[in-house]
Structure formats: structure tokens, C-alpha cells
Structure 1
Amino acid sequence: MPRSGTPERAGAASSGRLTDEELLDRVQRQSFRYFWEGGHPASGLARDRIRRDEDPRDDKIAIGASGFGVMAIVVACERGWVTRSEAVARIGRMLGLLTEAPCYHGMFPHFMNGATGAVVPFGRKDDGGDIVESALLLQGLLCARAYFHGESDGERRLRGAITYLWNDAEWDWYARGRDVLTWHWSPTNGFALDHAVRGWNECLIAYVLAASSPTHPIAPAVYHRGYAEGRVFLNHRLQEGIELPLGPDGGGPLFFAHYSFCGLDPRDLSDTYADYWQQNVRHTLVNRAYCIRNPKGFKGYGPDCWGLTASDSVGGYDAHAPNNDLGVVSPTAALSSLPYAPAEAMAVLRHLHDDLGDRLWGRYGFLDAFSEEHGWVADWFLGIDQGPIVTMIENHRSGLMWRLFMSVPEVRTGLKRLGFEFPALTA
């Protein structure tokens, strides 16, 4: 297979039983192609979604998915699926548009035109900066800045462009002088949505980066009085017989344990509220135990078929969770949880690949979701689901992205400002 990433034949999973390492390699590599071959033809930024057998005809890209795409490219470079120069050129092309595109006090919109940089409104009043999508982008870019530390002109330019975007993000503007971050701001609608970012959810990364900013940091009180005082932040109740430190009853969608932790290393990471490794392991096991108990009796659920998270669904995109169970399993849920429950997640991966591959496997890995109960399989791959598969499998295999992100000096400073405890960097 050429290093540039020419895809394997799409369709059924390969015949014969692969070893665990071969299977992980295959799934990572095929999922990476979503970003490498499926990226926007002009800028290389990540598409929001791509059909099973049809390329997009519009120019819409997703900012958060592009952050996951940058991380996937770093993984591909480390594993030799693309060359270092190819990876630098692709990320450089992405940065070429990002550094010229309109921004909103340094933040990018949820969706953008991948050719021009113009905002593509997410909703009537959501047509400006989105701090959570921007945080996911910057998480990936800071990992790339740490990885591409060489002295070639391309790597120097890459680091310079990333630092420019990082320094330009006005986190304090989105705090508005209050003790909480606000999710959106628009030049036409201002803060009209007035969506305060409170936890527990996928937004921890936004607060960590906001506290880490060398130019526009928030005060620690914004984290402690805003995010950590969310209505469903603390839990400490038994869920499926497991005490869950944080989050809503049932734990919420599993992407809570993935998005912020593609870069943040939860191993031995703690603050006054939680041990974050314990939080993510328990969240994963609660989700699995609920699916095995299967109180609604949905077809297909079991020890080798579990995982509820936000994804496509039988009636459109939905945030699946124990309190919103529609009989839909999303491959990204268990596969991106591999660091937290390796044996349990591998059982799901084996089932998806070896038993259901003829229906679920395609040119960019596993399709987004399926339901045995409803006889339904999604017709799409989604960037925000394919990306964590690549990155979290890599964190399980080598810890690469965790090492990179936690080596960023500004991030380490920000975590300390917020009162987090974490190991000294040794590698």
C-alpha cells in the first residue's frame, strides 16, 4: 500500500483473523483516510460528514473535526503512513486558510467554507465564534506544534502559524467579566444565545486552554465558579453499581470521556473535584454495564456490542446515552474508550470488524452508527467520530498524543493555575 494513503478496497472487512495489533492498525489507518483523502480539496480541512460512497458537493468543513484531523495526521506521520514532509505540507495548507479566514475575537465558527473561510451558520444566531469547536481545533494544533519541532522552513512556518492562532484567541472576551465562559459570539447577534459553558461534559478542554492562554487567559474562578458549578457536574451516586464521580446520571454520552482527553492525559490527572482517569474508566464501564443490562430489550446489545454516544441515529443526529437510549450503537463510543477498558473495547472491535464488517466497514473505517433493533446502518462517516478513533487508539497503543499535549509549556502552566495535579513530564 503506498505511503500516501491510497485506500484499501472498500466494502467487506478482510478475510482471516487479524492479530489485535494488526486490527488496531487497520482501523486507525482506514479511519485516518477520512481526513487525508476526504479533506477539503482546497484547504485540506476536515469535512463535517461524508457519505458511504459519495463525496461531498459543497465546501462545508467542521472546525472541531479539523482539530481531530490534525491529530490523525500526526499519528499517521509517526506510524509511517505518510511522510513527515507530506504531513507538514497538509497541515500547512490547513493553516494557510485558518490564518486568513475571518475569526470572531480569535475564535472560529462551528462550520466554515473550506475554500474561502467564510462562516457557514450553524443556526440563525450561531454565525460567529464557537469556543468549544475552536478549543478542539487548538488542541490538535498544539499537538502538531509540539511534534513538528524540526528546523526545516516548513516546520518553522507551521509552528509560527499555530502560535499566531493560539495567541490570537480571546478567551477572556468570552468570559464577559463573569465567572463562566459563553459558548458563542456573533458580530450580528452578539451574545444573544447566552449559552453558558457549564459541566460535566466535553468542554473541559475549553477551560484548560482558556486558563493556559499566554495572551488572553481567564481567571481560575471562571473554571471553579462556572464549569465546576454546573447542575450536573458532581455526581458520586451509584450508576449500574459503580460510583460515578462526575456527570449526569447514567454518565451522559461517551464522547465526554473522549473529546477533551484526546490531548489531556487523564492518567494521574486530578483536581479538587475528581481523579480523571477514574472518572473516564467508570463512565465507560457504566455505559457498558447499562447496555449489557439492556433494560429496553434492544436487539444486538451485549458484552461485544455496546457504546452510546452522540452520532447519527434512526431519526437524525442524536446524543445517545443511558437516559436517551434509542437502540443505536456508535462504533466510536467503544473504540475511543480503548484506553479505559481495553479488553472490553477490543471485544466490541472484534465483533464490529469480524462479524458485522460486511455491513459496517467502508472506505473510511466504520460507518457512524447502526441499530440491530431497527435494521438500520448510517450512510455517513462523521469527522468528530472518526477522529477520536484514530487518536484514542493511539493513546492506548503509545500515549503519543497525551505526551505531546502535556508537554506544551502553556498547558502545564494553565493546569497548575486551575489547581490540577499531574505527573512531572519524564518523556
Structure 2
Amino acid sequence: MERRRFLMASTAAVIASFGIAACASSPEHVSGLPLDPAVEELQRRTFDWFVRVTDRDRGLTPDRWPTKSFSSVAAIGFALTCWPVGVERGWMTREEARFRTLNTVRFFHDAPQGPDARGMTGHKGFFYHFLDMDTGHRFGTTELSTVDTALLMGGMLFAARFFDRDDPQEAELRRLTQAIYERIEWDWAVVRPDRITMGWHPETGFIEADWHVYNEGMLVLLLALGSPTHSVPTTVWDEWCGVYDRSWTDAWGPVHLHFAPLFGHQYSHLFIDFRGIRDAWMRTKSAEIGAFDYFENSCRAVQAQRKYAADNPGGWAGYSAAVWGLTACDGPGDFFQVVDGREREFFSYSARGPGERDDGTIAPTAAMASYPFAPLEVTACLKAMKDRYGAAIYGEWGFLDAFNPTLKDRDGPLLHGRILPGVGWVDGDYLGIDQGPIVTMIENGRSDLVWRYMRTEPNLRRGLERAGFTGGWLAA
């Protein structure tokens, strides 16, 4: 009891001292707040990016743009999530959204699957991380990816719930989506006891890394548990939660399950409303420290990042309680450079966050996709970024992927972006996997749209129940 009181008191003190209110795990927490026009503008511009770059006939979304690139399977899943948002907002007709979605689902349903290294889009029901934009087949030697398949399926399953009319095309969309989901051999991906592998290569076999630490992999496990054809044992979830204590920390602010880059606290939440539902680990933790769930955990992760930016232990330019946000994103390149008399190390595309790499690179998606967790703070961050850096980082398609105010000149070449006088390094691209969460999470904050439909998704519900989740909307 004394430990419980201490944790509750210390967490409350940290939050109060930083001027942040704790989250409320109720459906009314976010959607009842008035929406600032700046947030709506950002959501619309980012949505328009997906309309601009996604192939209508097959649904392939590039990994990045305007730099020519391959297609990202996860970004395709995010595009599928965007189309219903557009319908709800009046930005796209239902007919156009249905056309795009059905074409995408047909493509993946009919795309070649098999063990060959070339000419395939997937294998064992999974899909390759990156696909060639022209052929739709595996790009280069990219891996068969369990998480990117899960993110694609998240978009498909949501779309299948949204397009619910008694219409031949919408019925076909629902049927094909379920068929794609049911052929994924999740059990094949359990290579080591009670752990799902991150991927597989036809040349070398399974990747050594598994989903075995708190991160975005929750969606992988829950979809695997919910499969009616190739489900994994419930001990997979027990194993997943069995290492949580390694991540439980107050090192960066309010005590929570720590994962340095914010995308790990966002991706599963794109599709799953974790407010008020708890597995066994969360029920135990709630008994120790008071009501706690995965939604609250993400709220605290956001609070920790804001505190980290305000404290700014690395002395990076531009960090503050108003401008913050570290995640996986583009960076200027991999090099060392002396800045203001201090040698600094910079990185290209990399995961960034407290306790992880930090080279002064800020990713707007980190904050913007946290809208349901801290709507007022995210809105303030959006305005501060626009006020401080303006058109250098924000334009027709929303925010460029990343910027770094510390790097104001460069002795050698840059891998991405350019140096702008008075601003610093600014990326030249938009990344699909960073754009998508902005649209979706703002919408979840506005209307619960994706969460509301996914609460009725039977496969996901089965996965949650097999993982031991109870309470909240699951009890309704």
C-alpha cells in the first residue's frame, strides 16, 4: 500500500509540476473538445497528400514523396484508413473512397504469393515491407514483414467495417478483406517459443528479432490472436507482457511503459481504442497505482517527451515545452560535425527519443499524431512550429517529415533535405508512415471514427479477449 501511495503521489507531482493534466480513459475525453481550425487544416492538407500520391488503380502509396521511391505496405494501410475519414469530412465522395479501397483490396487479394525471391508480393499470407511501384512485387531484398502486414490489415479491417452497406461492391470489399486476413499464417511466424518474428527473407529465412518488448508490436499480436484460421496461443501475449517490468520507469517523467520514439505509443492506437480496457498486467498495475491502461500509458509517454524537450539535456536548438516530438523519422545524414564548439553526431533515417538516439531532429508527426493523448498541448505545438518556422516546414501537404534547428550549416554532403538560413536543416520529403498517423489520430480525437468502427470488428475483439482484456467497451 505504501508503494502504491508513493507511485501515485510521485506521478501526480511530476504531472502537476509540468502543468499537464492526466488523461481520462473515457470516450468523452477528447471528442467533446472544440477543434482548432489549425488542426483541421493540417488534417485536410495531410489527407490531400495521400490523394495526390496514391495510385487509384492498385492503391500503392509511396514510402516517401516527392523523392521517387518504392511503395510502403504500412503506408497503404494508412491510406485505406484515410479514405473513410475523407468521406466523413466531405473531402471525398463515398463512391471515390469505395473505388480506391476496393481496387486496393482486389490487388492484394490477387497479388502473387510464394517462396520465390522475385515476382512475389508476399508469402504465407504476409506481405513484403516494400513493393515496387511499377510491378507491385517485392522491392529489392526487403523482408516479409509481420508488422507492416498488420498495419495494412488494420486499414483493411477498418475499411471493411466502414463500408457496411448492402451494396455489391461493399460486400465484395468485406469478403476479400476477410479472405486476406484469414490466409495470414500467424502461427508460421512463431519461430521461437511464444514469440512472433519480425520478418522473413526468402534468401536467409527468419529474422532473428522477435516482438518481445513494449512497442508498436501490440497490433501484430492482437491480430494474430484474433485469427479464426491461424491463431497463435495465448501464451504469446503472456510472454509479451512478461518483460514489461524492464520498460516501467519514471526516468523521463511520469512513470509509464517507456519506448523512446513516440510511434511505438501511437501505431496500435490508430486502430484500437484502449481506453478503459485492461489485460492482466494492466489490471495488476491499476491495483498498485490507480486506474491505468494503455491509453493512459501513451498519454504519459507524450508528457515525458514534452518534459524531455523542456529540460533539453542535450542542449539542442529549438527544443521546448512548446516545440517537441521525437520518433522514427528522416535526418540529415550519418556524420559528425562541430556545432558551436561541440562535436555533434547526426543521423539519417533513425528512431529517436529520450534514452535513444537524439541528434536534435524534430519530427512533427511525433506531436501531431499524439492529438488524442494531449489535444491542447498538440494544438499549441502545431501553432508554435508554424509560427517559428512557417513555410520552411509547413506547406500544401502539411508538415515536411522532419527538421533540425541545430544543424545550421554543413561541411559535407547531406543525405536528405537542405540547410535553410535562419532555420537549419529541413527535410525535403513527406513519409507515408508519418503522414498517416496525423490524419487518423486527429480524427480519433475529433470523432472516435476509427476507434468506433473497430470496436465492432469481430476479429480484433476476439484477439483482445484472448489476450485477457476486459472492461470498458468490451463489457458493453
Q: Structure 1 length normalisation: TM-score? A: 0.88
Partner of 1:377: 426
Please tell me whether the aligned partners of residues 44 and 90 of structure 1 are also in contact (alpha carbons under 8 angstroms): yes
1:254 aligns with 2:266: no
How far apart are residue 96 of structure 1 and its match? 2.5
In structure 2, what is the equivalent of residue 45 of structure 1? 60
Unaligned runs of 5+ in 2: 1-33, 113-121, 283-292, 334-347, 408-423
1:137 matched to which residue of 2? 152
Q: 1:41 Cα deviation (Å)?
A: 5.8
Query: Tell me, what secondary structure is at the counterpart of 1:299?
Result: coil
Measured in 1, the distance between the counterparts of 2:84 and 2:138 equals: 27
8 Å contact kept, 1:104–1:186: no
CA distance in 1, matches of 2:193, 2:184: 18
1:411 aligns with 2:424: no
Residues 147 and 198 of structure 2 are in contact (CA less than 8 Å); yes or no, is this contact kept in structure 1? yes
> Does the alignment pair 1:106 with 2:125?
yes
Deviations 1:299-321 (A, max 9, x none): 11112100111000122101110
Give the 3-state SS of the residue equivalent to 1:376 in structure 2.
Answer: strand
Match of 2:298 among 277, 280, 288: 280
Q: Is the 8 A contact 1:139 1:405 kept in 2?
A: no
Deviation string 1:137-185 (CA, Å, 9 cap, x unpaired) is: 0011100010000112221111111111111111011013721101112
Gap runs ≥5 in structure 1: 1-18
Q: Which residue of 2 aligns with 1:305?
A: 323
* 1:263 maps to 2:275: no
* Cα offset, 1:20, TM superposition: 4.6
* Match status 1:213 vs 2:213: no
The alpha-carbon distance between structure 1 residues 41 and 79, as it changes in their structure 2 partners (threshold 3 A), is closer
Alignment of 1:32-181 (within 5 A): 32-40=47-55, 42-51=57-66, 56=68, 60-102=70-112, 103-121=122-140, 123=142, 126=143, 129-176=144-191, 178-181=193-196
Answer yes or no: is the 8 Å Cα contact 2:276–2:473 preserved in 1: no
> CA contact under 8 A between 2:57 and 2:100: conserved in structure 1?
no
SS of 1:37's partner is helix
Residue 380 of structure 1: CA displacement? 0.6
| Paired amino acid for 1:217 | S
Structure 2 residue matching 1:356: 3-state secondary structure: helix
| Count of matched residue pairs | 393
Matched residue type, 1:107: F
Deviations 1:260-307 (A, max 9, x none): 110011211221223112211111101110011001111111121001
Q: Which amino acid aligns with 1:415?
A: L
Aligned twin of 1:397: 446
Call closer, same or farther: CA 1:171–1:313 in 2, change over 3 Å: same
Distance 1:328 1:269 in 2: 35
Offset at residue 353 of structure 1 (A): 2.7
**Offset at 1:233?**
5.6
Give, in whole Å, the separation in 1 of the partners of 2:475 and 2:242. Answer: 33
Aligned pair 1:321/2:349, yes or no? no
**How far does residue 121 in structure 1 lie from its aligned partner after superposition?**
3.3
Distance in 2 (alpha carbons) for counterparts of 1:171 and 1:317: 29
Structure 1 counterpart of 2:445, which letter?
A: H
**Cα distance, 1:364 vs structure 2:** 1.8
Contact kept in structure 1, 2:214 and 2:247, CA below 8 Å: no
Q: Which residue of 1 aligns with 2:435?
A: 386
1:26 equivalenced with 2:26 (yes/no):
no
Task: Provide, for residues 8-35 of structure 1, a one-character-per-residue CA deviation record: whole Å limited to 9, x for no partner.
Answer: xxxxxxxxxxx95322221111101222
1:182 counterpart = 2:197: yes
Return the alpha-carbon distance in structure 1 between the equivalents of residues 268 and 140 of structure 2. Answer: 24
1:365/1:233 CA distance change after superposition, 3 Å: farther
SS of 1:318's equivalent in the other structure is coil
Q: Would the alpha carbon gap of residues 213 and 170 (structure 1) be closer, same or farther in structure 2, given more than 3 Å must change?
A: same
Deviation at 1:220, TM superposition (A): 0.5
Indicate how the Cα distance of structure 1 residues 404 and 20 shifts in structure 2: closer, same or farther if over 3 A, else same: closer
Residue in 1 aligned with 2:212?
198
Larger radius of gyration: 2
Q: Is the 8 A contact 2:141 2:201 kept in 1?
A: no
Structure-2-length-normalised TM-score: 0.79
Cα distance change, pair 185–241 in 1 and its aligned pair in 2 (3 A)? closer
CA contact (8 A) 2:324 2:362 kept: yes
| Cα distance change on mapping 1:253 and 1:62 into 2, 3 Å | same
1:180-231 CA-to-partner distances (Å, cap 9, x unmatched) read: 101112333222x222111211111000000011111001101212x2234x
What's the RMSD between the two structures over aligned residues? 1.8
1:325 CA drift (Å) = 1.3
Kept in 1: contact 2:65–2:431 (CA 8 A): yes
What does residue 346 of structure 1 align with? 379
SS at match of 1:301: coil
Q: After the TM superposition, which of the residue ranges 269-278 and 104-113 deviates more from structure 2?
A: 269-278
Q: What residue is the counterpart of 1:11 in the other structure?
A: none
Structure 2 CA distance for aligned equivalents of residues 240 and 222 of structure 1: 29
Post-superposition shift, 1:235? Answer: 3.2
Which amino acid in the other structure matches residue 268 of structure 1?
A: G
Q: Which residue of 1 aligns with 2:249?
A: 237
Give the percent of matched residue pairs that are identical in Structure 1 and Structure 2: 36
